[in-house]
Amino acid sequence: MIIRTFITSLLLLAVSVASAGERPNVVIMLADDMGFGELQCLNPKRGKIPTPGLDAVAASGMIFTDAHSGSSVCTPTRYGLMTGRYAWRTRLQSGVLTGGDSLIAADRLTLAKMLRQQGYHTAIVGKWHLGMLFDGQHISKEVPVGSQVTQGPIDRGGFDEFHGFHHARQIRTWIDNDVVTATIEPVEMLPRLTQSAVNYIESRKGNSQPFFLYVPWSSPHSPVVPSAKWEGNSGLNQHADFVMQTDDSFAQVVAALRDSGKLDNTLIICSSDNGTSAPTSNLKQLQKLGHYPSGDLRGSKADIWDGGHRVPFLASWPGVITPGTRQNGLICLTDVMRTVADIVDVELPADACEDSISFLPLLKDESKSSRETIVHHSVSGFFAIRQGNWKLSLCPGSGGWTGDRPSKKSWAKYKQQGLPMVQLIDMNADLGEQDNLAASHPEKVNELKNLLQQQVAAGRSTPGAPQANDAEIVIEKTPGK
């Protein structure tokens, strides 16, 4: 009887190990401030920057042409990716964090926590930007070596390993796991992240345990500091050089997966947190030289226009995703968590992934997108909602940094000119968001406004029990409030 029980246990263990081995590794790489039009594969006519690394990922897998970040700036997008929840449901109603307490609550399920519970080893190499404390304090700039990190990727994110930094104002501060271990120069950050990501993959060689590697790059966000090897390579400007170097970093990670024998069983997702920054990219100079970082979209980082939040999104998964395919279905970075949950066959609790919809059927090219609506958010906290071809932005202008920034003075100008204070766009007919149809379609304005209010009030945009938001949310705000 004892022998039989022992043999049964071994068989069950063998089945368990085999099942775990069949689960794909998951590698998510996220550029920082890389607009939709920066990639050649997405912008062949108006893009002048060579991006062979990302183009190769696209050729080996799938391009999504209507993918969006949850916000047009950094912190809220990263929160959405890690939790499957819109960040405007938290205390962060506009802007980004510069430090302090984590935006991720201690009891919030994250993508890394979920995968670790399923037997994955989890690692992050790169920029966190979701809040952390150093020796129990909020420090917004350079941090002394030896400082202890709390409320960061290890104890709030659910990662087993962390190598990187917090945010751009602390780009000289290098952290290993939960300790500040070095002070480096900004130009060293991207190469060091790249080597750390490669080292991690090499460390998994011969290990059958599945892994999740999240690589949020430091670039091409400011400080714009391409290495000497890359300076001048684009023939455009330093931002373009930095985009080329970032593209090469993506490629080095893919090469490491191939060299370690892990590529064939790995889901790779490559994207960006938001559009290109107009100030730090010297946008007007790039456009004069024929390069349009947002492609045919209007606006750039921080804006409510699609140039602020429609992002490159590529997925490769050998044997599952058909190479060289394109999807025009609507998706959001918040959808990654539920998609991965479907892949590893996890039933999520009711209080998780409130704004996450699985796009696994799209990866398998089996159906149309299940996402019917998406909520956009600008740096200043202005809302937009998209449903099908219709997009309603609850502000005039960009709601961000392009053109007239939101202010009482700029809004008074719109009112004096008799212009609508909202924007209703038919995105199928007007990708550049030039023709405001709000005045001629007031019923559609009200319909979309009511839909947004319902999704805000429910605490979720997916089916399920109502959930509480962390703070009061005002969907129609005015500048200064």
End-to-end CA distance of the chain: 73
Short-list 21, 61, 60, 28, CA closest to 344: 21
CA distance 286 to 300: 13
- Check the CA dihedral 149-151-153-158 and report its sign: positive
Short-list 270, 213, 276, CA closest to 243: 276
Short-list 158, 168, 170, CA closest to 124: 158
Based on the number of CB atoms within 10 Å of its own CB, is 306 exposed (0-12), middle (13-18) or buried (19 or more)? buried
Q: Which helix (H) or strand (E) holds 399?
A: none
At residue 384, the pLDDT reads 98
Q: Which helix (H) or strand (E) holds 245?
A: helix 238-259
DSSP 112-158: HHHHHHTT-EEEEEEE--S-BEETTB---S---TTPBEESSIIIII-
- CA 255 → CA 57, 316, 322, distances in Å? 11, 13, 20
Distance from CA of residue 416 to its chain's centroid? 38
CB count within 10 Å of CB 320 equals: 16
CA distance 171 to 230: 20
DSSP 47-108: --S--HHHHHHHHHSEEESSEE-SSSSHHHHHHHHHHSS-GGGSS--SS---SBS-SS-TT-
- CA 292 → CA 67, 131, 376, distances in Å? 18, 33, 22
Degrees, nearest 5: CA angle 473-478-479: 115
**Residues of the chain scoring pLDDT < 70:** 1-21, 481
DSSP 420-431: -SSEEEETTT-T
At residue 2, the pLDDT reads 38
- pLDDT tens-digit map of 238-263: 999 999 999 999 999 999 999 999 99
Q: Do 357 and 368 touch, CB atoms closer than 8 A? A: no
At residue 19, the pLDDT reads 38
Q: Is the bond into 52 cis (omega within 30 degrees of 0)?
A: no
Distance from CA of residue 169 to its chain's centroid? 20
| Domain at 22-369, CATH from 3.30.1330.10, 2.40.10.220, 3.40.50.150, 3.40.720.10 | 3.40.720.10
Who's near 286: CB < 8 A, 6+ residues apart?
Answer: 236, 237, 239, 240, 292, 293
At residue 41, the pLDDT reads 97
CA distance 246 to 53: 9
Query: Which pair of tokens denotes residue 382?
Result: 């202005």
CATH class in words for 375-458: alpha beta
pTM of the full structure:
0.94
Which residues, listed in sequence order, are joined to residue 134 by a DSSP beta bridge?
137, 149
Q: What residue segments make up the domains of the chain, in order of their start? A: 22-369, 375-458
At residue 481, the pLDDT reads 59
At residue 365, the pLDDT reads 87
